[in-house]
């Protein structure tokens, strides 16, 4: 019997409505093209897709600003991530206990995200009252891409480690589309 292939993905790989709102249309952005390519190929290859929760949308809704990792890196956010991920850990363990039937391909996050980044996240000295910030443009310019995981991915890695589970992580990143080839082959 052919094994059922399962992949866990960040929520917005299936539902981009949870992403931070942008003025410019996202349709033709390289990340969007890569997302659609991944989904098309995953379906064609009979890969079963599990959608992880979106912590930012659940905790801050659709009106949130774009954030940096530092703004989410606090105990309550981590605790909430853990609670959201707990039910997924249960299902994952079932797949891993039945390796004759299932093959878990990995976890696909969103590189650059403060929550779901795998290889990169965004960092910056953001925060505080916008109206009284007399150096707002300088504050905004502190944002940069750093080689760290987003907060939810860090929590997920911790949870996997606590259960002695090893799984490959991948990041959706338009600058490195080749990363997905291994996943989809």
Distance CA 28, CA 146 (A): 25
Q: Minimum distance from CB of 88 to ligand SF4 (Å)? A: 13
Among candidates 105, 108, 116, which has minimal Cα distance to 155?
Answer: 116
Q: Minimum distance from CB of 160 to ligand SF4 (Å)? A: 17
Q: Minimum distance from CB of 16 to ligand SF4 (Å)? A: 8
Between 56 and 154, CB nearer to ligand SF4: 56
Between 6 and 116, CB nearer to ligand SF4: 116
- Distance, C-alpha 61 to centroid of its chain: 16
Between 71 and 133, CB nearer to ligand SF4: 71
Residues that bind ligand SF4 (CB under 6 A): 10-12, 18-19, 54-57, 110, 113, 115-116
**DSSP secondary structure of 22-37:** -SS--TTSHHHHHHHH
CA atoms within 13 A on the CB side of 177: 10
With the CA atoms of 118, 123, 129 and 133 taken in that order, what torsion angle do they form, in degrees rounded to the nearest 10? -150
Between 3 and 37, CB nearer to ligand SF4: 37
Q: Minimum distance from CB of 85 to ligand SF4 (Å)? A: 12
Distance CA 85, CA 92 (A): 10
């Amino acid at each position: 019997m052919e094994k059922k292939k399962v992949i866990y993905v960040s929520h917005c790989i299936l539902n981009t409505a949870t992403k931070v709102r942008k003025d410019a249309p996202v349709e033709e952005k390289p990340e969007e093209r890569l997302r659609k390519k991944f989904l098309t190929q995953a379906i064609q290859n009979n890969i079963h897709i599990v959608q992880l929760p979106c912590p930012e949308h659940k905790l801050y809704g659709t009106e949130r600003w774009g954030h940096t990792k530092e703004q989410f890196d606090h105990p309550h956010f981590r605790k909430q991530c853990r609670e959201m991920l707990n039910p997924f850990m249960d299902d994952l363990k079932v797949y891993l206990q039945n390796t004759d039937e299932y093959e878990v391909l990995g976890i696909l996050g969103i590189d650059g995200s403060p929550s779901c980044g795998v290889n990169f996240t965004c960092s910056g000295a953001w925060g505080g009252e916008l109206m009284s910030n007399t150096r707002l443009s300088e504050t905004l310019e502190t944002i940069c891409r750093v080689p760290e995981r987003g907060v939810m991915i860090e929590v997920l890695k911790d949870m996997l480690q606590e259960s002695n589970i090893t799984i490959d992580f991948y990041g959706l990143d338009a600058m490195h589309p080749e990363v997905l080839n291994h996943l989809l082959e």
